[in-house]
Structure formats: structure tokens, C-alpha cells
A and B are shown apart, each in its own frame.
Chain A
Amino acid sequence: MSTIAGLTRATLAKDLRLEWRSKDAINSMLFFSLLVVVIFSFSFDPTAEESRRIAGGLVWVAFLFAAVVALNQTWAREVRNQVLDAYRVSPAPPNALFLAKVVGNFIFVSVLQALMTPLFIVFYNLRALGPVYQLPIVAALGTWALVVNGTFFAAMSLRTRSREIMLPLLLFPISIPALLAMVEATGAILTGEFSAKFWIVLLAAYDVVFTIASLFLFGFVLQAE
């Protein structure tokens, strides 16, 4: 157990240091979601009342597309110098690598959300009418749902042709219940019309199911040859 924790920490620290120095993923995600915000704002031009209703969808679509940008880069660095092959022949448990990548992506997307939320509030004149303390819970659970499957499918699409296109094609259909839950929960909190409890429970269940499934199956994907 301690080896898994140690390896996870080492890989995570390496990824975070690389990202801190290059800022590749966070910059491309930030600019991308900024573009989405501006384009949506132009094309819908909503009033405050409307925007409260549609903001959940807008926010999560922007984050979903931005997350795909980061997820596509997750494994690219490991492939370039055959790091992944070295990892495969080493006795290190595959799940340590997977967990490190998931946590890394989770941190990147969370930072993105923290930076983008003020912009959303400004552009769409948002003011939540429901219990605001639930928003961070929804954000954390929703981000984990996107990132755990996204990291897994990014590893899968490494073994395919045109992998950048492959990732969203695999990720979006499976993520439909999670996306629905995030959008509905955010909408519920912003409008205050109904409770977000069910959606939060559903998101938690989704996270548990797919985290366990990914940990079980990641070994297969890493060793696939």
C-alpha cells in the first residue's frame, strides 16, 4: 500500500512540477474555455433570469471541452520518450500511475474552474438563489467523474489511430449520466427551485462505480500489446 502511495506521490509531483514550469495544459484550457464563454454569451445573449436556468449547461459544456484538451495531453509526455514502455516492464503497480494522472488532471481542471467561475459570474450576471455551499461539492464530484473516465479513455485511445478525436467519442457517451447530473445540480442550486440532493448522490455513485472499474481494468489497458 505504501508503495502505491509513494509512487503516486512521486508521479504526481513530477507532473505538477512539469506543468508548473511549462503551464501548457492550464493555459490552453483557460483560453479555450474563455472562448467558449464569449461565444455562448454572444450567441444566446441571455437575461439574468434565463442565464440562471441555462448557466449549468454552459458552464459544464465549457469545462468538459476544456478538460478534453488537458486529458489529450495527459499521456503524450509519457509516450514521447518511451516512458510508458519503461513503466510497463517495471514492477511498479499500474494503478499508482493511473491515480497520479487522475489526481493531476483533477487539480488542473479544479484550478481552471476556480479561475473561470468569476468570469462566468461577470459575463452572465449570475447570483445563486439556492444553497451555494453545495456548488463546490457538485464541482468536485463532477470534475472527478469527468477526469477519472477521461484519463482512462485517454490511455485507451493511445492505442488507436487519430487518438485526439477518439477520446471525446469514447468519453461523451459514457459520461451522459454524469453530465446530466452536473448540469441539473448546478441549475437546481442557481435557480433554487428544487433540491440538488438526488443529483449529488447520483454523481457520487457514478464516481465510486467508475473509479473502482478503472482501477480494476487499467492494468489491462496499460499492458495491452
Chain B
Amino acid sequence: MKRAFPILAVLTGVLLSYALYEALVGAPTEQTMGDVQRIFYYHVPSALTAFILFFINLFASLIYLVRRNNKADIVALVAAEVGVVFCTVNLVTGSIWARPVWGIWWTWDLRLTLTLVLWLIYVSYLVLRRFSSSGQTPLLAAVLSVFGALDVPLVYFSIWFFRTQHPQPVIGGGGSIDPRMLHVLLINWLAFSCFAALVCWSRYRLEVLQREVDETLALEALLEPRTSQPRTSRTGSDG
């Protein structure tokens, strides 16, 4: 397994550079938007990757709730972290794209708002993980992940109705896409997915090591309370 890591890394590097070349040079220029439209090849793949990672997070959380499997918990954590990063990329590139094309940085459109709320939910998930004391973190996080998943359809319907009541400039929905563009999009998505998998993998290994270190430190602290206690009390009186 470990030998596959550098292979995946090289593959990701090649794919990313090829996808970048295709996005900037290979893909045809869009008729009305011009070269600005090329941000599309980063905007959409990052969104798709983020949503897949959030799905993985929910799935791993459910497995943790049923089986109490530590590996599932690490997968959930890693997927949420990397997912938030890709979701941020999506929101930022979307904003950069919206400014020249629509003339505004942000609008409370259905998809934008849904992505933002999803981002907020997963940031609160990460905050919970950071703030809770170690033993209960996985369980509480898994519960919150389930709540977040239940929330998504409700958010969808509420914003859908909100927007149909207050009409806004409709955003390039529908319409067909040039097959050449679709091809570049899919290559970029593949490259982004490989990149996400690579980051998740190394983050996973890091987290496993971190937990081993924490466990060892906790065991050591348990094993030598008698020798360490007088020493600390002496330094305390010195200070």
C-alpha cells in the first residue's frame, strides 16, 4: 500500500499539469464570456470533489455510529477537512467568476446559498472536533454529521422557495455544453479527485500517527506518576 503513494503522487502531478494545460490552452474560448470562462474548469470540479467528500464523511460517520470503528472516524475527519478546503475553493472561484460575468461578487441564488450553508455546517463540524475533549469527539462529530445531512434537503427547499418569491437574475442554467469543454471538465475533475485522494491519504496517515503518539504519551504518563510527581512539585517550589 505504501508503495502506491508515490505512484499516485506522480500520477496526480501529471494529471494536474495536463488538466491545467487543457483548461488554459486546449479548451475552446467561450463565445460571450471569453477567457474568463476558463475558471469553470476549476470551479465545477472543486464543487463536485467537495460534495463527494461530504458524502464520504456522512457514510463514514454512519459506519462509526453503528460499528464504533476508529478508522471510519479518521476517514470522516479527513473527508470533512479536505472537503471544506475544496468547498472554499469553489466559493472563492465562483465569486471571482461572478464579478466580471454578472457584475456582482455574490448573489443569494439557490446553488450559491446551498453551498455556503453546507460550508457553514462543515466548518461547525470541524470546530466541534477541535473543541471537544478527546474521548467523545468521534461520537459527537458523527451525530452532528447526521444532523447536517438531514438539514440539506430542508435548506434546499427553503432557499428554492425563497428565491422563487424574490426573483433574481437567472444564472446560466440549462443549455448544452460543447463536447470539447465537457472533455476538459472531466479531465480536470479526474485530476482534482486524484489530488483530493492524495491529500486525504497523507492526512489519514498523519492522523493515525498522531493518535499513536497521543496514546503512547498517555500510557507513559500513566506508568510513571510516582517518579514524575516529586520532580514537578520541586520545580513548582523553585519557581
Contacts and interface: CB of A to CB of B under 8 A. Distances in A.
A141 interface: no
A167 to B, nearest CB: 11
Contacts of B127: 166, 169
A113 to B, nearest CB: 22
Q: Say whether chain B's binding surface is mostly helix, strand, loop, or mixed.
A: helix
Given A169-B124, A209-B154, A198 B161 contact: yes
A220 B150 contact: no
B190 interface: no
A194 B151 contact: no
A162 B131 contact: yes
B133 interface: yes
B144 interface: yes
Interface stretch (B1-9, B46-54, B135-143): B135-143
B117 A217 contact: no
Given A161-B133, A166-B131, A177-B154, A194 B165 contact: yes
A119 B145 CA distance: 39
B140 A156 contact: yes
Contacts of B162: 180, 184
A170 B124 contact: yes
Contacts of A210: 147, 150
B89 interface: no
B65 interface: yes
Interface residues of B, number: 30
Interface in B104-160: 117, 120-121, 123-124, 127-128, 131-133, 135-136, 139-140, 143-144, 146-148, 150-151, 154-155, 157-159
Interface residues on A, range: 20 to 34
Contacts, number: 88
Given A180-B158, A213-B147, A224-B139, A161 B121 contact: no
Contact of B147 (A174, A198, A199, A202): A174
A206 interface: yes
Contacts of B150: 209-210, 213
Contacts of B161: 198-199, 202
Interface in A165-183: 166, 169-170, 172-174, 176-178, 180-181
A200 to B, nearest CB: 12
B128 A174 contact: no
B136 A170 contact: no
Contacts of A169: 124, 127-128
A184 B108 CA distance: 15
Contacts of B158: 176-177, 180-181, 202
Nearest to B120: A173
B131 A177 contact: no
A202 B154 contact: yes
B154 A159 contact: no
A173 B154 CA distance: 12
Interface string A205-225: 110011001000100110011
Nearest to B157: A202
A194 B146 CA distance: 34
Nearest to B121: A173
B154 A161 contact: no
Given A170-B144, A180-B158, A159 B121 contact: no
A194 B164 CA distance: 12
B157 A221 contact: no
A160 interface: yes
B105 to A, nearest CB: 21
A221 B133 contact: no
Interface of B: 65, 117, 120-121, 123-124, 127-128, 131-133, 135-136, 139-140, 143-144, 146-148, 150-151, 154-155, 157-159, 161-162, 165
Lowest 4 CB-CB distances: which A-B pairs, in order? A177-B158, A160-B132, A177-B154, A173-B120
28 contacts: A149-B147, A156-B140, A156-B143, A159-B132, A160-B140, A161-B132, A161-B133, A169-B124, A170-B144, A173-B120, A173-B148, A174-B124, A176-B120, A176-B151, A178-B154, A180-B159, A184-B162, A194-B165, A198-B161, A202-B154, A202-B157, A205-B154, A209-B150, A210-B147, A217-B143, A220-B143, A221-B140, A224-B139
